[in-house]
Amino acid sequence: MSTTSRRKLLTALPIVGASALGFGFWRMLHGMQNGGFDPRAVNTPQLGHPIPHFSLPGLPASGANADQTTGFNASELQSQHTPILLNFFASWCIPCVAEMPGLRIIAQEIPIWGIAYKDKPEDATAFIHRDGSPYARVATDQNGRAAIDWGVTGVPESFLIAPGGRILWHNASGLTPQLFDAEIRPLLAPYR
Amino acid sequence: MKKHLSLLCALTFSISAVGVAFAVDSPDEMLPNPAQEQRAETIGAQLRCLVCQNESIEDSSAPLARDLRRVVREQVETGKTDQQIMMWMTDRYGTFIRLSPPLSITTALLWIMPGLALLSGIGLAWWQFRHRNNATPSNDLTEDERARLAMLTRENQS
């Protein structure tokens, strides 16, 4: 190799390397923005697995909604005849507040069961009834142990449960009607 | 060079020692039995905090890390083996929770990277050396230089 072509190669190498890296990072950031790439989605060990065993108490009563006081457990979730959307939330979690209006829209299509994660029961009750509860059933996981068995890393987090108790879908970010249409609705087709 | 290397080693060890020493947030999290606490810390140091993602659960102050530390300590106390505890964690959070992931197709590149980097470095160095030796000009004078030298010495003499 002659000196000039070698010099050209050595000059080009860092530029080509930096451009390749830049392009890769741009793709990742772009994907994170339009939802095509979710760095947290690499880890969904729960998919296809049966739901973990749990039994959680309900929330204190607040007027109209009596279903929230009983809580629920794994076998109740397993014995449903339609898919259920399970949503971990907390009144102290800002993304959960942002998620609520969307959940109310989604609740018209599929029953949503909520689990209040590490929340004071009265705070959780006040939170879900402030603008109307999207939840068909509510339970509370005050010490966060059940959430660990579900592989929850932070609220909000949602699971789609098939009749019989298999986890069909898991998402570690806020649920929106757009995400519901794109990812959950196709999964519901076999159960309609 | 040798001195620098030992200095680097000392520095690395002291940093990792500090990392373990300041693991838990409050002393009442620690197990009363020092041997068990030591074991729990070693296990915890291999588990990723899923909130901060680049810290172990022993290093992190996130509430989830605190909960997982408690789980590790409970299981150490009940006499579970390291492997059983790791299994309990990966069942829930996948191999992502292990700071040193097992060798698999998805992690193969990660594991062979140091070897790959070393090999390509050796290859590059070898290539460079070979070319440098070839490029060294010979000490013998060329025909032209000899003629010019003869001319210059003649001019000097006259």
Q: What is the pLDDT of residues A12-42, one digit of tens each?
A: 999 999 999 999 999 999 988 876 777 666 5
Q: Do B63 and A144 touch (CB under 8 A)?
A: yes
Q: Do B96 and A44 touch (CB under 8 A)?
A: no
Average pLDDT over residues B137-150: 83
SS3 call for A99: helix
User: A83 and A163 in contact (C-beta within 8 Å)?
Assistant: yes
CATH no. for B7-97? 1.10.8.640
For residue A78 the two structure tokens come to 């397993």
Q: Do B64 and A42 touch (CB under 8 A)?
A: no
Task: Tell me what the pLDDT averaged over chain B comes to.
Answer: 82
Partners of A135 in the beta sheet? A112
Q: What pLDDT, on the 0 to 100 scale, is given for residue B138?
A: 66
Interface confidence: ipTM more than 0.95: no
Is the peptide bond between A156 and the residue preceding it cis, with omega within 30 degrees of 0?
yes
For residue A101 the two structure tokens come to 């209006």
Q: What is the pLDDT of residues B55-92, one digit of tens each?
A: 999 988 889 999 999 999 999 999 999 999 999 999 99
* B155 CA: distance to closest CA in chain A (Å): 37
User: A159 and A170 in contact (C-beta within 8 Å)?
Assistant: yes
Burial class from Cβ neighbours inside 10 Å (0-12, 13-18, 19+) for residue A134 reads: buried
User: A125 and A135 in contact (C-beta within 8 Å)?
Assistant: no
The ranges of chain A with pLDDT < 50 are none
CB atoms within 10 A of CB A175: 25
* Closest residue by Cα to residue B29 from B85, B74, B64: B74
Q: Do A144 and B67 touch (CB under 8 A)?
A: yes
Q: Do B92 and A43 touch (CB under 8 A)?
A: no
Q: What pLDDT, on the 0 to 100 scale, is given for residue A60?
A: 79
* A99 CA: distance to closest CA in chain B (Å): 20
Name which of B48, B53, B64 to mutate to probe chain A: the one with the most chain A Cβ atoms within 10 A of its Cβ: B64
Distance of alpha carbon B155 from its chain centroid, rounded?
67
Average pLDDT over residues B40-56: 90
Compute φ and ψ for B7, nearest 5 degrees.
-65, -45
Would an 8 Å CB–CB cutoff place B144 in contact with chain A? Answer: no
Residues of A with CB under 8 A from a CB of B: 1, 42-46, 118, 143-145, 148-151, 153-154
Partners of B47 in the beta sheet? B98
